Structure formats: structure tokens, C-alpha cells
Structure 1
Amino acid sequence: TGSHIDTQPTGGKFDGCFGVLAGLEVMRVLDEHGIETEAPLEVVIWTNEEGSRFVPVMMGSGVHAGLIPLEKALAATDRDGDSVAASLARTGYAGDVPVGSHDFGAYFEAHIEQGPVLEQEEITIGAVTGSLGLHWFDVVVSGQEAHAGPTPMPYRRDALKTACALVSDILTLADAYQPNGRVTCGEFNVHPNSRNVIPGQVRFSVDLRHLEPAVLAEMHDQLKALCLKHHAANQSDKQRVDIELIEVQHIPPTPFAPELIEMVRSASQELELSYRDMETGAGHDAVQIAGINPVAMIFVPCEDGISHNESENAEPSDLEDGANVLLLAMLKRAGIVSTNTDDANATHNTAENAQ
């Protein structure tokens, strides 16, 4: 079990961190009650899940699962040209254990929902059945820098003007694919980013998501068509602007393991907690691990469904309930060998003591 502790530029204190701390609390509670499991239990903290500084996203789990080549991950650079390899070496986290050499049998991840459903429906636990597919792109719109004063409007190769029109169309792309379609343009870089210079290049991100692979592919086709349309419309000699679409990462829709999902449901029932099945619209390390191991996720509500925001919040009682479900689900999977306590209900009591 585990999650990540890296965050977003305006991230809160629960996204990822809750899953790591819940896993640590499970280990402490089992140790306090002298409970030995048939299968060993471990907590993992994955590197660069968010991708806010380095891409590809979900990097540590992706490399472990063999979905991202180690060399590609280490060579990734941030906006300042600093690489993952250099950063790991500088901070002392460049380990010597071969990547992917540590095997395990199943993976549970506790997490805040990062959406409004559980809170709005007054449900405590989300038994996550799988994730939406994710397709990331960079769009590069290239014109020509020029002086803002002497250059008349008809003679401008304004990359930002074209980018704005394109973004406006892209942001309506998912409207026809509800309720599971998502589109986001969240990162923009304008060059040279000077008040009195016409922008010569704009680079922005596009994030497409959907639950069905065929629909996600159709949304990708729509994105390509929009880029071609705006490129063709801006090819006059005096105002030529070029558009390039670059694929960054593709993670298909991912179902989770039915037997582990059922363990989350049954743990919720035993603890008399309300629960519902649900998909996740966010990317998680569990999505990468699902390609090599059985996986399940446990969601708890977050206030107003807000995440990737410093106001991100969750009720202590909900976090406790999520940790309890994690504990019981892991025990169901790992099996109990023995306990050093005389309490016949030790297993249930360990859940009550998880904080």
C-alpha cells in the first residue's frame, strides 16, 4: 500500500499524503497488536506522481511497472533544464536497488476522492473500480516575434491570437462526450513573454480523458482535426502561423481487480460504513501498477470536492474510516497467521484503533 508525497504548485496536504500515512498507520496498528500476516506488508512512496515538474506523469510507478523506460524518466528535464537524474543524485535519493526488481502480489491505495460525489451523496467510502483513460499532448503554435508598436495588425504573425482561438475550440471538445469526457488546457508558456513584443510562440498542454478507449480515441481524432483546421486557416504569407501537436503520454482506461474491489466493499460493510462503486477521473500510481499486479483504491470524501488547491480538506473521521477499510482489506488479502493478544476480536479492534 502507499501513494505519493509530491504535489502541485498550489497543492494541498491530503492528495497522496493520506495514502502514505494511512499505510504507515496500518503497519503501526498491526505491530501494536502483535498481528502477523501470511504475506508481508509494505508501504511505498512513489516518485513524481503529479508530473507538475517533470513529465511523464506517475513516473515512479510507471518505471517500476515497465511502462516508462528508466532512461527516459531519468533524462526528463524541468523548465530550467534540471534533470530527474541530477535531482535524485543531488538530494540523495538515487538508490542502488535495480528498478522493478522488487516484486509484490497486490496493491491497495487509499486516497481522497478529489471530486464532489461522495460528499454530495453523503457516502463515506468509494470502492474504485477503475480509472478513466488519459491522453496528454503539447501544442506548439509558432509565429514570429515583432515590435508591438510599429507592426500593423494585418502584418502580424501572432502566435497567441491563433492559440487563443484554438484553445477556445479545444475546451468545448468534451461537451459531446458526457458524463465521462474531460478536456483541460492547464499549462501555458508564451515566448518571449514581454509586454511590448508580439508573441512568437505559444506552447500549451491538452489533457483528454474518458472511460471508454474508443471514445478517447475519437476525442484524440477531434483534437488533431482542430489543430489541422487552425493550421490551415493561418497559412497566408503575411500572417502565417504553424501548429504542431506532440503526444506526451497515453494511459488507456484501466479496470481494477474485482477480487480486491470486493475486499474493499466487504471491509466497508463489516465496519458499517456507507460505500459505493465509482471510477476515478484522476491518474494515480495504482493505474500504472494495475498492469502488473491486482489493484484496488479506497476513496474518502474531500471538502467541496476540491483538490490540487491549498484549501484541500478532509474530515478526520473520514480519514480514519478510510484507514480502517484499508487495514481490513489488506488483512483479507494477506491473511492472518497469529496474534499475540488475548483479545478474540483483535482484528476488529485493530481497525477501531487506526487513526
Structure 2
Amino acid sequence: MMADLSNVRVDGARLWDSLMEMAKIGATPKGGCKRLTLTDLDKQGRELFRKWCEAAGCTVKVDQMGNMFAKREGAEPSLPPVFVGSHLDTQPTGGKFDGVLGVLGALEIVRSMNDLKIKTRHPIEVVNWTNEEGSRFAPAMVSSGVFAGVFTKEFAYSRVDAEGKGLGDELKRIGFMGKEPVGGRRPHAYFELHIEQGPILEDEAIDVGVVTHGQGQRWYEIRLTGFESHAGSTPMPRRKDALLGAARIVELVNAIGLSKAPLAVSTVGMLNPYPNSRNVIPGEVFMTCEVRHPDNATLSAMDAALHEGVKAIANKIGLTYDLKQVFDYEPVAFDKDCVDAVRRAAQRFGYSHRDIVSGAGHDACYMARVAPSSMVFTPCVDGVSHNESEDIKQEWSTAGANVLMHAVLEKAEIVS
């Protein structure tokens, strides 16, 4: 049982000020942030974060993937730490809160614990994960993936951006290829605070989302091949229009998601026709699609529907096709005790709350492989994220950080 923590709260104004100060680094004209991973702007954000952590009495270490760990020592230093954090990198047209709220919210709980002279048995480490977004180097969440043993360090280093620059080289260039080994230790627990990136909490006027699961994801690449010919002189019945096939696949993918509502989603994100000329029937199309659901059996059913549907569409038009799965991200069930700790924290403050499934990928999903983990969601305005207009209210960030702090303190165990 925890001690009476009714007066233990974060300094919400200080958290908000920190969020706004970090947002100045990479600020965009439309009010968002562009702080792509391992750029000079990312370096500035990292250095500011390190300065703030050291001012809070933490010891900051950086591992060979550039992951930053700011340690607040516990009363029993030999005990495994409670990790809490997220990421500082953004999308090219990102907002001020995606990821950053989780890092600075974690820092704020350390600052508030210092103010309140709270000591814990377990150490607490505030974490900034490298390349969560995957917008510069694919795949996303690669560094927490290396920590969790999903990817090798060599695989991560070999990732290149659109200009051919390697992740490993860029880590060295900005001075954040640390000396600490990646992974090889099992935290006592892991918590991550994040904006919902969806409309549910705001629509239902809910203060806090208690994240129980992370959706599984399967990504695909499809190449359709028909025959390009003159748009004016080729009779309709004789056409092998690859773009027509792609259009029908777009509708197929949408129908697959709708058929497994309300938890399923499905999307075609990229579509490139060739030769892309206004008076030539497209002879080839490259396209991507993805399906997401928190249940693996349902994902497999969606996968089967995609394969069957693409085959039928291609055969009807006379196309050949290549359909391959390029990414398989297993569904995640977060640790029941950690989920319950989040729920108890919300109840303690009297915040309205509900269970929720994360539709996006997060570092917490990989950390769940190596430590009991859970997440805390705050609402975001209109459910908008990965956009410069992304916004939250100060009271939402305060509520989320209060819940985060109490969940962390339950696992880290207060001694004084």
C-alpha cells in the first residue's frame, strides 16, 4: 500500500513552461516543431534536456544508440530502476507535445519529488529514446527496439535517410553515440506518458486514458503490373490499367478495416503510378498499405482478406502483382499491475478515466518485452497529431503527469 499522497502533485506550470521552452527548438511558422532525429536541432534539444536533468541532480548517461538515461538514485542503488520517458524527435511537420510530453513529464516528476523531498527504494531513470518517429530513419522506434533485443545495433546503424546519411554516422556527428551498452538490463517497470493522438478522450470529456494494449501492425508493399498504352486509342475492354487495380485495392483496404470495427484500422499511405503521364494508361503502380488491430487472430484474418482481394482484383483486370509483408509488429498487452497502478493513480486524484487501446506504436510497446510496462494518455485537441496544429490544454498535461508520478512512485516504493 502507498502512503497518503493526496498532496503529492507535480508543478503543472513548470512542466508547461518546459514544454514551451523545448518547443522553441525547431519551431515552425505554423506553431509546430521540426526536430528530426540526429539533426543539429535534435542535438540542441538533447543538450537542453541534459542540462535540465543535471540541474535536477540526475546523472545522465548515453548508450551506443544515443538513448539518454537520467538517473535519480534510490535508497537501494542495487535495485533495478523504474524507467519513465518517451522521445524528443518529431515529424517534419510535427507538434509540440508528441513524445516531448512524456520526456518532460518524466523530468517534472523528478523535479517535484525533489521539491517534496521524496525518496524511493528503486532508482528512477528518465529516458529519451532515439528515433522513435522513424521519419528520418526507418523503422520507427528502432533504438528502444535495439534495447529490447528486437533489432541489432548493426542493423540500426545501417539505416539511411533520404540523402543517404547513415544513422550510425549521424550519431557520431552530433556527439551522441555514447559508451554505455544498449540493453542487457531489465528495469523494474516502465511507464510512458503520451498524448492520445486520437479523438476519443476529448470527445468523451475524459481526463486520462489508461492504456491496456498496443495495436499490432502489419505493413505491406504491393506492385501491380499491367501494360501502358495510349489513353485515347486503347479500347476500354483491352486495357490493363494498373492504376484501376490500385484504386480498387484502396477501396478493399478501407473495407477490410471497416469490417473489423471498432478497433481495426487500415490505410493505403503511398501510391506511385508509372509512367505518370496524363495521356498514358498506367502500366505499373507501387503502393503501400497497413492494417492494425490489438488481436493477432483478427490481424491474420485481415491479412487473409487482403491477399484474397488483391488476387481477385488483379485477375479481373489482367494484372500481375507482387504483394509482400515488410513489417510485422505484434500486438501488446501491457502489464496488469502497471495498468492497475495507472488506474489507481487516476482514481486517487478523482480524474475521469477509461481504458483505451493505443492505435500508434510507442517505445513502451518494445519495452513491454523486457519490463512490466504501461502508458498514460492525455487528450489532444480534435485528436490531431503529427501536425503543426497539434495541441493540448495545460490542465491535461498536469493531470497526465500527476497520474504518471503516482504510478511511478507505487512501483519505485516511497521510503521517505
TM-score (norm 1): 0.85
Q: Hey, what's the Cα distance between the residues in 2 that align with 1:246 and 1:72?
A: 21
Equivalent residues of 2:214, 2:365 under 8 A apart: yes
Match of 1:159? Answer: 242
Aligned pairs for 1:297-316 (under 5 A) are 297-316=375-394
Provide, for residues 61-103 of structure 1, a one-character-per-residue CA deviation record: whole Å limited to 9, x for no partner: 1121111233333223334443323333333333332222354
1:270 aligns with 2:353: no
- Computed over aligned residues only, the root mean square deviation of the Cα atoms, in angstroms, reads 2.4
With over 3 angstroms needed to count, the CA separation of the structure-2 counterparts of 1:194 and 1:19, relative to structure 1, is farther
Change (3 A) 1:54 1:232: farther
Contact 2:219–2:326 (CA under 8 A) maintained in structure 1: yes
Query: Greater relative contact order: 1 or 2 (C-alpha under 8 angstroms, separation 6 or more)?
Result: 1
Whether contact under 8 Å (2:197, 2:380) holds in the other structure is yes
Code of the residue aligned with 1:184 in structure 2: it is T
Q: 1:88 to 1:194 in 2, by over 3 A?
A: farther
In structure 1, give the amino acid aligned to 2:193.
A
1:138-157 superposed Cα distances (whole Å, 9 cap, x missing partner): 22234566777887877765
Measure how far apart 1:226 and its partner are: 1.9
Select the residue among 118, 137, 149 that pairs with 1:35.
118
Cα displacement (A) at 1:194? 5.6
Structure 1 unaligned residues grouped into runs of 5+: 236-240, 339-355
2:154 maps to: 71
Matched residues, number: 333
More displaced, 28-37 or 299-308?
28-37
Q: 5+ unaligned residues in a row in structure 2: which ranges?
A: 1-83
CA distance in 2: counterparts of 1:9 and 1:147, whole angstroms: 39
Matches within 5 A, 1:7-18: 7-18=90-101
Asked whether the equivalents of residues 187 and 370 of structure 2 are also in contact (C-alpha less than 8 Å), the reply is no
Amino acid corresponding to residue 45 of structure 1 in structure 2: N
Evaluate the alpha carbon distance shift between residue 200 and residue 50 of structure 1 in structure 2; reply closer, same or farther with a 3 A threshold: farther
Q: Which amino acid aligns with 2:355?
A: D
- Percent identity between matched residues is 45
**TM-fit CA distance, 1:321:** 0.9
SS of equivalent to 1:166: helix
> What code does the residue aligned with 2:312 have?
K
Match of 2:297 among 193, 211, 214: 214
The question of whether the paired residues in 1 share the 8 Å contact of 2:252 and 2:306 is answered with: no
Give the secondary structure class of the aligned counterpart of 1:214: helix
> Cα 1:306–1:160, aligned 2, differ >3 Å: closer, same or farther?
same
Output the amino acid matched with 1:172: A
CA distance in 2, matches of 1:336, 1:38: 6
Letter in 2 for 1:272: G
Do 1:139 and 1:246's aligned partners in 2 also have CA atoms closer than 8 Å?
A: yes
Match of 2:106 in 1: 23
* Equivalent of 1:294 in 348, 359, 372: 372
> Which residue of the other structure, out of 184, 191, 194, is the alignment partner of 1:108?
191
Matching residue within 379, 382, 405 for 1:327: 405
Take 1:323 and 1:167, find their aligned partners in 2: how far apart are those partners? 40
The CA distance in 1 between the partners of 2:236 and 2:327, in whole Å, is 37
Deviations 1:315-338 (A, max 9, x none): 101101111111111111101233
1:243 matched to 2:321? The reply is yes
Distance 2:161 2:262 in 1: 34
Q: After superposition, what is the alpha-carbon deviation per residue over 1:263-303, rounded to whole angstroms, capped at 9, x for unaligned?
A: 11111122221212222122111111111110011111111
Change (3 A) 1:203 1:11: farther
* Aligned partner letter, 1:59: V
Structure 2 partner of 1:281: 359
